[in-house]
A and B are shown apart, each in its own frame.
Chain A
């Protein structure tokens, strides 16, 4: 055998360089990085739409945008954030971390992994490009309810195709994750030894495979109603718009868990590290996650209490929804029990994780209030619902994503995140988040409807407060960019392999930054 030259030792990737490297890469770390960058760009794009909305709502009357554009903005804000920012960000984490956590050298289907990423940019272009076609983007709301979605112009068709493409991408990504976790674990890494992030993603991936095709079916029906003379949802031809709502929410409620279960996983990785104790109730976490996933299929009509459902139906969906609070409560309990009497320190990732528990739980409680049918009939389609789902999605999913990003940044870049700037990011986000969304509870209770560009005078003060908070929140996110760029440019404290004092798991046994190829030599887990 020839002597090993330094060149061969050099950890690297071979093959095309420059742009072609990124287009053709099948490396899980490269693909993970691309997912993360893509989702951050979409997060900024959705954020600009949100700030335009808040600028319009700063005071009563119409001043910044026309009502038509306003409706397009609320619709696209929702679609871009859900399908462009939150979901791809979690897939990025899965790509980067799952092989490292289970001791696999890459994802099971590396080539398919590349395709699932590269489907996303065309979908994003379709969505954002639809603002510039005649009639503008779809303005039917992110739920794309008929009859509006049957009447819109070609922006609606573009959104439908974008949903198709993103759906295929998520299904391919999900299949890859399931196969990787089931078949590629290192010897000794049994299912019940797997880090919780892998468990929550496994269950999420099954949810994705089960419900993304249903959404694809629903928007396909919209498309044929629009162009091919079918009448699934068209009352004139004997169809029923309420049917769409059933199909959509059969997808939609599991979808909200798709956006929160991986967040639970991230938080379950971080809390034990900084409490310096193993996770409390590991097995119960696995069971709680599975029961949340199963229950999520039988609660969808809690989004439809006002559609004239029979009382028996309302009661069923109300109780089933309230039941989900039990496994969710188990999780929150376990996190707090993990912290209990731990030697806690509050580095940036832990701050975000603790903030997550606090604020997400508030969103869980408002969810319970929405789930009570007689109350929901009052607050449905008001700002109360907007407050609820931003507490669970922004303070839930997004905060967990930031927690994870700070936690694994050393593994990605080889540099510790700057604690000072990271903490500044956290506190600004937490405070501005609450200034933005807390007043929305009061607005909703007072009767302000959602998706309106103008409102009655009595809502003016809280709206002004929310708009100020929103601009603060939006600008605070640039601080994150600063931390990441700093670490990526190799500035700041060098990270060791373990990075955090008490971090456990295979990902911390490889050097920081993780070399291009890891676990070529299969590790054995004892």
Chain B
């Protein structure tokens, strides 16, 4: 019997260690989040929410790029969102400031976050934003309207075959992005 109870005690000991291991790995999954963010920060990937650092400020007047602006609202965010100018022509290296206008049509305060994207995709790496409303969340009071600037420089290293760039923002609602039943993928058009 004593051999049996010895084995049982040993079993309990290994069991506890393995449980600790499993719980630690559950934590490790969450640890991957800050780890990933750190790697992205260090390697400079995924910095869409931070101002860019501009190193080359030489203006290249031999090239003119058409920059177009686009605005979208995700789902049913009750905002109106539009660029104040549809396009500008700029030289690479030249500091340019444009503006977007956003207004909240609901009688309640709502917080949103704009996420930029670029066409063609490759332009994204060369589109240096010094200032942008997309760096922070925007909270609009009931009925509030706001004009928001974007200051940018095109990196002169922009590939030569890019002559037109589209900067497109989509505003997402921050609160209330719960998944209601029936909002299922297939059932919305």
Q: Is the pair A175, B22 in contact by a Cβ cutoff of 8 Å? A: yes
A461 on the B face (CB < 8 A): no
Q: Is the pair B185, A148 in contact by a Cβ cutoff of 8 Å? A: yes
Main secondary structure of the interface of B (DSSP, over half): helix
Q: Is the pair A246, B172 in contact by a Cβ cutoff of 8 Å? A: no
- A247-B33 Cα distance, complex, nearest whole Å: 8
Bitwise interface map of B from 62 to 78 toward A, beta carbon under 8 Å scored 1, else 0: 00000000000010000
Main secondary structure of the interface of A (DSSP, over half): helix
Partner of A179, one of B18, B46, B112: B18
Chain B residues 46 to 99 lying within 8 A of chain A, measured CB to CB, are: 46, 49, 74
Tell me how far the C-beta of B29 lies from the nearest C-beta in chain A, rounded to whole angstroms. 3
Residue of B nearest to A137 (CB): B184
- A232-B7 Cα distance, complex, nearest whole Å: 44
- A156-B29 Cα distance, complex, nearest whole Å: 20
A481 on the B face (CB < 8 A): no
| Count: A-B pairs, CB below 8 Å | 152
- A152-B183 Cα distance, complex, nearest whole Å: 6
Chain A residues 205 to 250 lying within 8 A of chain B, measured CB to CB, are: 209-218, 221, 226-227, 229, 231-232, 234-238, 240, 242-243, 246-247, 250
A133 on the B face (CB < 8 A): yes
Partner of B26, one of A67, A184, A217: A217
Q: Which residues of A contact B18 (CB under 8 A)?
A: 174-175, 178-179, 209
A343 on the B face (CB < 8 A): no
Q: Is the pair B14, A179 in contact by a Cβ cutoff of 8 Å? A: yes
Q: Is the pair B181, A235 in contact by a Cβ cutoff of 8 Å? A: no
- A71-B184 Cα distance, complex, nearest whole Å: 12
Interface size on A, residues (CB 8 A): 60
Residue of A nearest to B186 (CB): A68
Residue of A nearest to B184 (CB): A135
Partner of A134, one of B33, B178, B181: B181
B107 on the A face (CB < 8 A): no
Q: Is the pair B174, A236 in contact by a Cβ cutoff of 8 Å? A: yes
Chain A residues 458 to 478 lying within 8 A of chain B, measured CB to CB, are: none
- A284-B126 Cα distance, complex, nearest whole Å: 52
B5 on the A face (CB < 8 A): no
Residue of B nearest to A155 (CB): B184
A500 on the B face (CB < 8 A): no
Partner of A153, one of B15, B112, B172, B182: B182
Tell me how far the C-beta of B25 lies from the nearest C-beta in chain A, rounded to whole angstroms. 4
A41 on the B face (CB < 8 A): no
Q: Is the pair A214, B186 in contact by a Cβ cutoff of 8 Å? A: no
Residue of A nearest to B45 (CB): A310
| A214-B11 contact, Cβ under 8 Å, with A152-B184, A153-B179, A155-B184 | no
Q: Is the pair A209, B25 in contact by a Cβ cutoff of 8 Å? A: yes
Q: Is the pair A232, B14 in contact by a Cβ cutoff of 8 Å? A: no
Q: Which residues of A contact B25 (CB under 8 A)?
A: 209-214
- A216-B27 Cα distance, complex, nearest whole Å: 10
- A133-B18 Cα distance, complex, nearest whole Å: 37
A371 on the B face (CB < 8 A): no
Tell me how far the C-beta of B46 lies from the nearest C-beta in chain A, rounded to whole angstroms. 6
Q: Is the pair A183, B11 in contact by a Cβ cutoff of 8 Å? A: yes
| A134-B26 contact, Cβ under 8 Å, with A235-B115, A235-B172, A237-B174 | no
Chain A residues 117 to 142 lying within 8 A of chain B, measured CB to CB, are: 133-136, 139-140
A62 on the B face (CB < 8 A): no
Interface size on B, residues (CB 8 A): 44
Q: Which residues of A contact B45 (CB under 8 A)?
A: 308, 310
| A156-B33 contact, Cβ under 8 Å, with A184-B7, A237-B174 | no
Q: Which residues of B contact A136 (CB under 8 A)?
A: 184, 186-187
Tell me how far the C-beta of A416 lies from the nearest C-beta in chain B, rounded to whole angstroms. 36
A424 on the B face (CB < 8 A): no
- A68-B23 Cα distance, complex, nearest whole Å: 37
- A109-B183 Cα distance, complex, nearest whole Å: 44
Tell me how far the C-beta of B129 lies from the nearest C-beta in chain A, rounded to whole angstroms. 16
Residue of B nearest to A226 (CB): B179
- A204-B33 Cα distance, complex, nearest whole Å: 26
Tell me how far the C-beta of A238 lies from the nearest C-beta in chain B, rounded to whole angstroms. 6
Residue of A nearest to B183 (CB): A153
Q: Which residues of B contact A231 (CB under 8 A)?
A: 174
B1 on the A face (CB < 8 A): no
Q: Is the pair B181, A210 in contact by a Cβ cutoff of 8 Å? A: no
Q: Which residues of A contact B115 (CB under 8 A)?
A: 235-236
Tell me how far the C-beta of A117 lies from the nearest C-beta in chain B, rounded to whole angstroms. 18
B160 on the A face (CB < 8 A): no
Tell me how far the C-beta of A495 lies from the nearest C-beta in chain B, rounded to whole angstroms. 32
A379 on the B face (CB < 8 A): no
Q: Is the pair A109, B11 in contact by a Cβ cutoff of 8 Å? A: yes
- A4-B78 Cα distance, complex, nearest whole Å: 84
Residue of B nearest to A214 (CB): B29
Tell me how far the C-beta of B120 lies from the nearest C-beta in chain A, rounded to whole angstroms. 14
B173 on the A face (CB < 8 A): yes
Q: Is the pair B14, A182 in contact by a Cβ cutoff of 8 Å? A: yes
- A155-B23 Cα distance, complex, nearest whole Å: 27
Bitwise interface map of A from 44 to 82 toward B, beta carbon under 8 Å scored 1, else 0: 000000000000000000000011110110000000000
Q: Is the pair A229, B175 in contact by a Cβ cutoff of 8 Å? A: yes
Q: Which residues of B contact A178 (CB under 8 A)?
A: 14, 18
A151 on the B face (CB < 8 A): yes
Partner of B21, one of A66, A108, A209: A209
Partner of A151, one of B23, B26, B174, B185: B185
Tell me how far the C-beta of A155 lies from the nearest C-beta in chain B, rounded to whole angstroms. 7
B164 on the A face (CB < 8 A): no
Tell me how far the C-beta of B127 lies from the nearest C-beta in chain A, rounded to whole angstroms. 16
Partner of B179, one of A71, A151, A179, A217: A151
Residue of B nearest to A174 (CB): B18
Residue of B nearest to A242 (CB): B46
| Extra inter-chain contacts (19) besides given A134-B184, A151-B179, A237-B113, CB under 8 Å | A108-B11, A109-B11, A109-B15, A135-B186, A139-B184, A152-B179, A175-B22, A179-B15, A183-B7, A209-B18, A210-B21, A231-B174, A235-B172, A237-B137, A237-B174, A242-B46, A243-B33, A247-B32, A250-B32
A selection of 7 A-B contacts at a CB cut-off of 8 Å is A109-B11, A135-B185, A139-B186, A218-B29, A235-B172, A250-B29, A310-B45
For the complex of A and B, the 9 pairs showing the least CB-CB separation, nearest first, are: A135-B184, A217-B29, A68-B186, A236-B172, A153-B184, A213-B26, A213-B25, A214-B29, A226-B179
